[in-house]
Every structure is written in structure tokens, then in C-alpha cells.
């Protein structure tokens, strides 16, 4: 553009230049120019050594640049060039950020982002966000395991001692005894020259309950 150098100050009016390439090398005509880098990918803009340019950059040269696209713009120092930047920051950090290059001596440049802070100091850490979302539903239950082995038989419990039950009903009376035989006995005895006689009736009976029995002995008085 052939603009006049004004050491240490910007001209009241700057030219505007658009660059779409991802690689660029500054030239002498970029003095007092605002260069918009529109590339969507990262851009590298290089400052060349004075001896490589005809005409060369004059002391006080000012070049303004902007990240106009999505690609960050990194300023690279060519061989033999010294680039001074606050905090060592030499690249833009977001779209539409503007930086300024000023030549302060032979092959020496200063890079300034918004007053020399390289994009500003890092802000304080924000508050912690809310805790995790709600607990998810419980998963389906697993299959029932196999039955364990049976335990050993326990000891015999104590013998019970319940109350005596009621007396049962009286059974039927058995059949009457059967008379098998009956006889009359006569006894006689002499005592002291006197004779005494006695008689008795003997009955023999049988019963299914008591078996064979002799009863009914009925003595008569001696006469």
C-alpha cells in the first residue's frame, strides 16, 4: 500500500486487508493496515527478517490483525527475528479478537492483545454445578440360586404328659356260667362213741370269663 511510517503512533486512517489463506508472511505494505484472517482452519502469520524484504519494515511499523474466521491466528517470528509478547501469548483465543504488532528495533517486534495482556487474565473459577442426575431405575433381579443342602435332623423333643383320658364305657355282661355237674356229698364221723352225719351239694360250672369253677358248697348241720 506504500503508506508512510509514523514511529510509535497509528495513522488516523488504516487500510483494511482480507486474507483467506492458512499461511501468511507479512510484507512492508502491511504497515498501518488492519488484516482480517478469514480462514476456518488455524492460521500462521510469520514476521520475516529485515534483510529478506525490499523495502524493509521501518522502525515504528504498526500492523493490526484480526481472527475474522474460525481458525486461531498464531504470530510466528522468522529466523533472526525477536518477538516480545506479554505472558508469551502469541495466538488469538477466539473469533473477532484483535492483536497489534509494533516494530520497536531492527528485527524486534512487540505483540499486544488488547493492551498487552494477551487476551486478559484468567477469571475466577465458577461455582460447582449441580450434582449428578437422579438415580436410574433398579435393574431386573437375577435368577434364584440353587437350593442349599438340607440340614441334619434335630434332636427328639421331650415326651408329652397330657391328662389321663376319661374312663371308657362298661362292656357288656358276659354269658352266665354253664352248669356242668352237681353232686351231693354225705360225710359221717364217729366221735366219742357217737356217730355224726353231714351232707353238702357241690356244683361244677364253666364260664368263658372265669373258666372252670367249683362252687355252691352248702354244708348241712350234723345230726
Q: Is the model's pTM score more than 0.85?
A: no
User: Residue 161: how many CB atoms within 10 A of its CB?
Assistant: 5
Cell triple for 137: 431405575
Output the pLDDT for position 5. 43
Mean pLDDT (the chain) is 80
The pLDDT-based confidence of 118 (bands split at 50, 70, 90) is very low
Q: Is the pLDDT of residue 90 over 60?
A: yes
Q: If you average pLDDT over residues 15-43, what whole number do you get?
A: 96
Q: What are phi and psi of 28, to 5 degrees?
A: -60, -35
Residue scoring higher pLDDT (143 or 118): 143
Q: What are phi and psi of 111, to 5 degrees?
A: -105, 130
Cell triple for 138: 433398579
Output the pLDDT for position 10. 46
Q: Is the pLDDT of residue 206 over 80?
A: no
Output the pLDDT for position 220. 52
Cell triple for 154: 434335630
Output the pLDDT for position 22. 97
Amino acid at each position: 500500500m506504500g503508506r508512510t511510517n509514523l514511529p510509535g503512533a497509528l495513522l488516523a486512517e488504516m487500510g483494511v486487508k482480507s486474507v483467506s489463506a492458512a499461511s501468511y508472511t507479512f510484507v512492508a505494505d502491511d504497515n498501518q493496515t488492519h488484516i482480517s484472517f478469514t480462514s476456518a482452519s488455524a492460521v500462521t502469520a510469520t514476521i520475516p527478517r529485515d534483510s529478506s524484504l525490499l523495502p524493509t519494515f521501518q522502525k515504528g511499523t504498526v500492523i493490526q490483525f484480526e481472527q475474522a474466521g474460525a481458525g486461531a491466528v498464531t504470530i510466528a517470528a522468522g529466523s533472526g527475528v525477536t518477538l516480545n509478547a506479554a505472558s508469551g501469548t502469541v495466538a488469538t483465543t477466539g473469533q473477532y479478537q484483535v492483536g497489534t504488532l509494533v516494530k520497536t528495533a531492527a528485527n524486534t517486534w512487540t505483540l499486544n492483545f488488547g493492551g498487552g495482556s494477551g487476551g486478559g487474565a484468567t477469571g475466577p473459577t465458577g461455582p460447582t454445578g449441580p450434582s449428578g442426575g437422579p438415580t436410574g431405575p433398579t435393574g431386573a433381579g437375577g435368577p434364584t440360586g440353587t437350593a442349599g443342602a438340607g440340614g441334619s435332623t434335630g434332636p427328639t423333643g421331650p415326651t408329652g404328659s397330657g391328662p389321663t383320658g376319661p374312663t371308657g364305657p362298661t362292656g357288656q355282661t358276659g354269658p352266665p356260667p354253664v352248669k356242668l355237674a352237681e353232686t351231693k356229698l354225705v360225710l359221717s364221723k364217729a366221735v366219742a362213741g357217737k356217730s355224726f352225719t353231714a351232707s353238702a351239694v357241690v356244683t361244677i360250672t364253666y364260664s368263658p370269663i372265669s373258666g372252670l369253677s367249683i362252687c355252691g358248697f352248702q354244708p348241712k348241720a350234723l345230726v
